[in-house]
Amino acid sequence: MLDNMKFYDRESELAALEKACSGKSAEMIVISGRRRVGKTRLVDEFLKGKDAVKILVVPKEEKQVAADFAEVLKDEIYTPTFNSVKEALSYFFTKSKRRILYIDEFPNLVEVNKSIPYEFQSAWETHKGSSSKILIFSGSYVRMMNKIFTRQKAPLFSRAGYSMMLQSLPFKVVWKMQTDLGVENATEKIRNFCIFGGIPFYFELMEKRGTQDVVNALFFDVAAPLKEEGQNILRQEFGASYKKYFSIIEAIGAGLVAPSELANRLGTKQTTLSKYLAALQRDFQMIDRTVPFGQSLTRSKKGIYSLKDNLTSFWFANVYGKTQPPSEKELNDFVSKRFEPFCREFLAEYLNNEKIIKVGRWWGSAEIAPRVFEQREIDVIAETREHVYVGECKWTAEKIGQAELNHLKESAKALKAKKPLKWVLFSKNGFNINETGDTLLFDPERIEKEIKRLSS
C-alpha cells in the first residue's frame, strides 16, 4: 500500500491554470465538478510554492466567515479584522500582499448571505483593471455554480476568463493508480473501474481500507464510508428538488431507460419529465442520452438514458435498500453492464492512431436472413477514417468465439456501413478462436498489455 495517495494526471488542467496565472492582469478562474472528483486536490497541487492563500467556506454566520478570511489573509506583521465578506474582499484587492485567493466550496457563501456573489461582482468590476490579483473558485454544487457563473443573468456571468468542469480520471490513469495500490489482477482492475469509475477519492479509500473485499469494506461494513454515498451526492446537489431527481435516477438505475418507461414508473407526463431529464443531462451531467449509432442525437426518437457515473449506478443497483453485499452473480451482472462503456472507451484509445470519427452502440431490427428480422444490439461501434469496428462484450465465465462472431456479423448487416468492417470481441475469460487480420480479441490480460503500451 502507498503511504499517501500521490497526485495523478491532470496535466492539461494544471497547464490551463499555469497559463491563467502567467500574465500580469487580474484573472478569475472557476472549477466545477461532481463531489469527490478532485477539484480541491487539483488546486492545492497547482498552488504549491505560489503566493496564494486558501479558504474552505463552511456555512455559518457571516461575521464568523469574515473571521476565517482574516485568518488566511494575515501576515507576519498584521492580522486584519473584518465584519463582512465584502470587507475581506476589499482588503484582498487593496492591501493584501497575496496575489492568489482560492475559495473552496464557493456556493456555501450563498448560504451565508445571498448577496455575497454580487459583492464579488462589484469588487471585480472595481479592481480588475488596476490589479493583478487572481481569484480561484471551486464548488461541488454544479447547479449552484451555474446559477452564480454561467447563466446569462448570473452575478458573475462572463467574468471568469477560465472555467473548467473537472471530469473523472480516464481508465489509463485509474489502471496506474490500482497498480500502485498493489492490485495486480487485470480482471480485478476492470471490475474496480466498473464500480468506482475515475473518481480518485474512492481509490484513496481503497488505499486506506485495503484492496481485498472492497465492496463489503466500503459499502456494507459497520463503518463503511460509502454506505450512503449515492444518497449524499444527490441530496447535496438537488436540495429541495431531491425527491423528484432521486426517483428519476433510481428508475434509470433499475433499468428503465426509455422516456415512456420512466414516465409510467413515476406517474408523470413525458412533457413534464423532459425538463428534469434535460437538467440531469445538461446541468448536472449525471445521465447520458444515447441513440443508435448513425442516428441524429437531436432528431432520433429512439434515445435512451443511462447513469453516467459508475459509483452512482452501482449504489442504486447493489447498495440502496440492501443489507448484504451483492452475490458474485449480482456483482458480475452489474459489471457486465458497465464493461460495455469501458470497452468503448478503451477501443477509442486503442484506435487513436486511425483517427476516431465517432464511437457508440446500436440497437434495432436487423435482417439476419432474407426477410427474416430480429431485434439485435451491438455493444461497441467505432468509426475511423478507414474502417468501422464492430464489437461484442461478454463478461461471463465461458470462453467465447465463432458463435459470438457469427452473431455479431449478422447484426452488423443492419448498419449498412460504407467502409470495410472489422470485428472486435471482448471477453472476461478468453476465447476459443484466434485473432485474424480483421478480428481483434481482447481479454483482461490483453487489455492490460495494451493499456501499458498506451501509457508509455
Q: What is the pLDDT of residue 2?
A: 42
Query: What are the residues facing 390 on neighbouring strands?
Result: 381, 423
The C-alpha atoms of residue 301 and residue 189 are separated, in whole angstroms, by: 36
Who's near 413: CB < 8 A, 6+ residues apart? 366, 367, 368
Is residue 82 domain-shared with residue 197, that is, in the same domain?
A: no
Is residue 25 domain-shared with residue 83, that is, in the same domain?
A: yes
Tens digit of each residue's pLDDT (9 = 90 or more) over 358-409: 999 999 999 988 999 999 999 999 999 999 999 999 999 999 999 999 999 9
Q: What is the pLDDT of residue 1?
A: 37
Q: Which residue has the cell 433499475?
A: 254
The C-alpha atoms of residue 121 and residue 340 are separated, in whole angstroms, by: 45
Is residue 255 domain-shared with residue 356, that is, in the same domain?
A: no
**Residue 151: pLDDT band with limits 50, 70, 90:** confident
Cβ distance 200 to 41 under 8 Å?
yes
Mean of the per-residue pLDDT values for the chain? Answer: 94
In the chain, the percentage of residues whose pLDDT exceeds 90 is 85
Is residue 143 domain-shared with residue 177, that is, in the same domain?
A: no
Q: CA separation (Å) from 242 to 155, 231, 235, 344?
A: 25, 9, 6, 32
CATH number of the domain encompassing residue 418: 3.40.1350.10
Q: What is the pLDDT of residue 238?
A: 85
**Residue 4: pLDDT band with limits 50, 70, 90:** low
Tens digit of each residue's pLDDT (9 = 90 or more) over 98-127: 999 999 999 999 999 999 999 999 999 999
Reported as type and span, the H/E element at residue 351 is none
Is residue 51 domain-shared with residue 98, that is, in the same domain?
A: yes
Query: What is the three-class DSSP state of 299?
Result: coil
Give the residue numbers spanning the domain of 434: 332-455
Who's near 300: CB < 8 A, 6+ residues apart? 291, 292
Q: What is the pLDDT of residue 284?
A: 84
Q: At residue 239, does pLDDT exceed 80?
A: no
Is residue 327, in this structure, part of any structural domain at all?
no
Instruction: Choose the final residue of a domain: 165, 191, 220.
Output: 165
Phi and psi, residue 424, nearest 5° = -135, 125
Is residue 209, in this structure, part of any structural domain at all?
yes
CATH number of the domain encompassing residue 230: 1.10.10.10
Instruction: Choose the final residue of a domain: 135, 165, 195.
Output: 165
Query: What is the three-class DSSP state of 345?
Result: helix
Query: What is the three-class DSSP state of 298?
Result: coil
Query: What are the residues facing 165 on neighbouring strands?
Result: 32
Tens digit of each residue's pLDDT (9 = 90 or more) over 25-82: 999 999 999 889 999 999 999 999 999 999 999 999 999 999 999 999 998 889 999 9
Is residue 323, in this structure, part of any structural domain at all?
no
Tens digit of each residue's pLDDT (9 = 90 or more) over 153-173: 889 988 989 999 999 999 999
Is residue 208 domain-shared with residue 160, that is, in the same domain?
A: no
Cβ distance 390 to 376 under 8 Å?
no
Is residue 199 domain-shared with residue 305, that is, in the same domain?
A: yes
Is residue 101 domain-shared with residue 199, that is, in the same domain?
A: no
pTM tops 0.75, yes or no: yes
Nearest to residue 106, comparing CAs of 96, 117, 98?
A: 117
Q: How many domains does the chain have?
A: 3
Q: At residue 3, does pLDDT exceed 60?
A: no
Q: What is the pLDDT of residue 294?
A: 94
Is residue 324, in this structure, part of any structural domain at all?
no
Q: Count the helices and strands in the chain (H runs, E runs).
A: 19, 12
Q: CA separation (Å) from 208 to 1, 48, 182, 200?
A: 8, 25, 12, 13
Instruction: Choose the final residue of a domain: 318, 343, 373.
Output: 318
Who's near 402: CB < 8 A, 6+ residues apart? 432, 433
Is residue 16 domain-shared with residue 149, that is, in the same domain?
A: yes
The C-alpha atoms of residue 70 and residue 412 are separated, in whole angstroms, by: 65
Q: What is the pLDDT of residue 154?
A: 85
Is residue 345 domain-shared with residue 246, that is, in the same domain?
A: no
Is residue 356 domain-shared with residue 288, that is, in the same domain?
A: no
Which amino acid is residue 450, in one-letter code? E
Cβ distance 134 to 20 under 8 Å?
yes
Is residue 326, in this structure, part of any structural domain at all?
no
Cβ distance 287 to 249 under 8 Å?
yes
Q: What is the pLDDT of residue 326?
A: 97
Is residue 161 domain-shared with residue 62, that is, in the same domain?
A: yes
Q: At residue 130, does pLDDT exceed 60?
A: yes
Tens digit of each residue's pLDDT (9 = 90 or more) over 319-351: 999 999 999 999 999 999 999 999 999 999 999
